[in-house]
Structure 1
Amino acid sequence: MESDDESLLSPTSSTSSFDEDDVNVRMAPNWCAYRQLIESRGTRLDTCADVKQWYQDYWESLIAQGCKVTRDLPGYTRACSYSDENELCKDAGLPDNLFRGTHCATGKKVVIKAVHIYSREYDTVRYLSSPPLRNHPMNHTIPILDLIDDAANNLGFIVMEEWSPQLVSDVPRTLRLFLGAIRQCIEVRSFSPYRTYTGILMLISQHAVFMHAHHMAHLDISIRNLLTDYSSHYAYIDFETCRRFDGIPSPRVRGVRGTNLPPELENGEYADPYKVDIWALGVLILHASALTGYDVPELKALTRPMLHEDFERRPTASAVLKVFDTIVAGIKESRLQSTSVYHSST
């Protein structure tokens, strides 16, 4: 039985004989050794000079706003401790598999993630970033600027735009904007056409519909895996647990590790991977509502069947999106223009 289960969990596009556990572990490369390779592809890893400049710009922006600043910050002090400003300066707050940098052609700040070349994450990101999927209006994955292979050492580098995980610091100013953001999550895409929040709930909805339509399950949908660019765009990250099920009509998974797990997985049972996402999506919608201060009774009604203990009675992602759109269409304009408790108190 164990071998059957494992065959369902393996990436469908990989023909490698590598063990599943071996290829899906966190990588810790020697970043200095890969500096030349990464820079030859147009991405510069952060040096001490880059870090010091970032802090200088940050402090100047605070001073311009009339804020007091303190220059005795660990990151800045650490960058100043090196004798050579051209030395790489690793962000101590990031795990060993991540490094900050700059995309030279665009000047965009990026995060480079090291993964095993046969990992589920690399397989998923490569698939979602390939045409025509990368330009699909429902693909709400983080923008990928480059994929760098070091096949000789089974290592891959994902160069992605640096977005913020601080959802609550970018709280939608109106209910319309908040609902728009949730819709994106139900759908899923790289660049959202919704520059409003009736564009967090949209992303939450759209992302799941898109992935499931392409026989993929994220299996770790949560607030911590949702980023924003502070321009009403939202994206999903971290596809370590993601599975593709091409050619498998009724897939089942077991032993998945994630943030918001449904009862069947908690109990060690087999689960429908798509309904695992639906459960996590319901938890995310309620969590986002609480964090942003929007009390929407209709969303509680929407999530009730999504959180049914019997996964077979949970709706599909497309059904959730359809009900969501019906709910939004029935909300009066005056209410859509209302603000959250956090904005109302300011």
Structure 2
Amino acid sequence: MAHDVQPLDPEEGGSLSKAELFWRRHQKWLEQSGYLLRPRYRDAWRPSWKGTNKEYYLAPDGVTLRRGNLIDATRVSDGALVALKQVVKARHPHEIQIGLYFSSEPLASDPRNHCVRIIEVLQVPDEEDMSLIVMPYLRAYYEPRFDTFGEVVSYFQQVFEGLQFMHAHHVAHRDCDGRNIMMDGTALYPEGFHPVVTDMKPDMTGSAKHYTRTEYPTKYYLIDFGLSRCYNPDDGPPREPPIFGGDKSVPEFQNSIKPVDPFPTDVYYLGNMIREDFLQTERGFGFMERLVADMVQDDPAKRPTMDEVVARFQAIQMSLSSWKLRSRVPERDELAIVEAYRALVHWKRRLWYVLRGVPAVPLP
């Protein structure tokens, strides 16, 4: 392994963080394994902004990773952008096993499968307890902003279907809030985007151009199986002690150490994600209120199963008119005059979609 040589004073803006030093140490090994890191992590890197008037945070190589255990890389064989994630096996002993299970055939080809695919597992040569999992590079599910209710309906349908698929195979996710739902942005951003500052062009010279999800239907994925578990149905309903993921609001975990069934908790996570990210922050989602209210009930036994959630959502979707599905999702605090103008622009574009026969609910 190459020795670390910091190109900047550790206190200077744009310098490598402690977590990033791991990637710099392993850059040559990763390249030999078929994955090329950005120039920032190579031995020959010298900051591009040095000697210029540009601030480090405006340079494509000046941005620190937001999560030190996760990095982007280019696959040498075909130029595809991928994600590399550190997995400490003693801390998350089931993550790789469950990820590979859903990445293997015949499950991998099942259209209901929305688990992120593991392309390869790399054993870190100098750290026995650490592996790297290689996955397609995904971006947050909510960026860019949803354009229509039909696009959001597609999102709901896919994440419901994805969790139902996991449950059907006796796997509880146990951390499926909005932080662990992502999407494939390849088609939406044909010219690419910076892998850390994802609303910017790869070279950070301006905003990344993107299309709507209606034009380019998007697939959503459940990620991060670090807390996930697979259960034997012959053993009856599983019981697990409380374990907090990103969402700390789970009712059955408050002031209790009593083991609970993790499957109803998964239902709560998705329901609360919709409640917080849509019902409380956007307008026009009243059609989801009753289902979400049932999904987030305090008593886990009263929550619907994912089979019931999917069935009820299908009925909800069937009740929505094409006009509603093609309507624009307005911002909650949008001024009336601004909303009227944006609606006019929106419907001019929507009419073109209707004439072309583009579906109101875009599904990949």
Q: Is the structural similarity TM-score above 0.5?
A: yes
Indicate which of 255, 258, 261 corresponds to 1:267: 255
**Offset at 1:295?**
2.0
Distance 1:304 1:129, change over 3 A: same
Distance 1:294 1:227, change over 3 A: farther
Distance 1:164 1:38, change over 3 A: same
Match of 1:153 in 2: 128
- Distance in 2, matches of 1:299 and 1:314, equals 15
Q: Give the TM-score of the pair, scaled to structure 1.
A: 0.70
Match of 1:164 in 2: 139
Distance 1:166 1:303, change over 3 A: closer
Q: Answer yes or no: is the 8 Å Cα contact 1:215–1:246 preserved in 2.
A: yes
Is 1:241 matched with 2:227?
yes
- Find the residue that maps to 1:111 and give its secondary structure: strand
**Offset at 1:270?**
1.9
Q: Answer yes or no: is the 8 Å Cα contact 1:98–1:112 preserved in 2.
A: yes
- Find the residue that maps to 2:26 and give its secondary structure: helix
- Find the residue that maps to 1:182 and give its secondary structure: helix
Is 1:331 matched with 2:312?
no
Q: Answer yes or no: is the 8 Å Cα contact 1:121–1:241 preserved in 2.
A: yes
| Number of equivalences | 275
- Distance in 1, matches of 2:232 and 2:133, equals 24
Distance 1:309 1:39, change over 3 A: same
Is 1:210 matched with 2:165?
yes
Is 1:72 matched with 2:64?
no
- Distance in 2, matches of 1:258 and 1:172, equals 26
- Distance in 1, matches of 2:149 and 2:161, equals 18
Per-residue CA deviations over 1:85-115 (Å, capped at 9, x if unaligned) read xxxxxx6233332232111223122221111
- Distance in 2, matches of 1:312 and 1:74, equals 49
Percent identity among equivalent residues? 24
Correspondences of 1:197-346 after superposition (within 5 Å): 205-230=160-185, 231=188, 232-247=218-233, 248-260=235-247, 261-268=249-256, 269-290=258-279, 293-342=282-331, 345=339, 346=342
Distance 1:78 1:32, change over 3 A: closer
Q: Answer yes or no: is the 8 Å Cα contact 2:271–2:296 preserved in 1.
A: yes
Indicate which of 28, 31, 34 corresponds to 1:39: 31
- Find the residue that maps to 1:156 and give its secondary structure: strand
- Find the residue that maps to 1:258 and give its secondary structure: coil
Distance 1:38 1:307, change over 3 A: same
Match of 1:123 in 2: 97
**Offset at 1:116?**
2.4
**Offset at 1:171?**
2.4
- Find the residue that maps to 1:264 and give its secondary structure: helix
Q: Answer yes or no: is the 8 Å Cα contact 1:183–1:206 preserved in 2.
A: yes
Q: Give the TM-score of the pair, scaled to structure 2.
A: 0.67
- Distance in 1, matches of 2:134 and 2:295, equals 34
- Find the residue that maps to 1:341 and give its secondary structure: coil
- Find the residue that maps to 1:139 and give its secondary structure: coil
- Distance in 2, matches of 1:32 and 1:212, equals 39
Distance 1:112 1:49, change over 3 A: closer
Gap runs ≥5 in structure 1: 1-26, 57-69, 80-90, 186-204
**Which is greater in Rg?**
2
Match of 2:193 in 1: none
**Offset at 1:252?**
0.9
Gap runs ≥5 in structure 2: 1-18, 189-217, 343-364
- Distance in 2, matches of 1:215 and 1:143, equals 18
Tell me which moved more, 111-120 or 324-333: 111-120
Higher helix share: 1
**Offset at 1:314?**
0.9
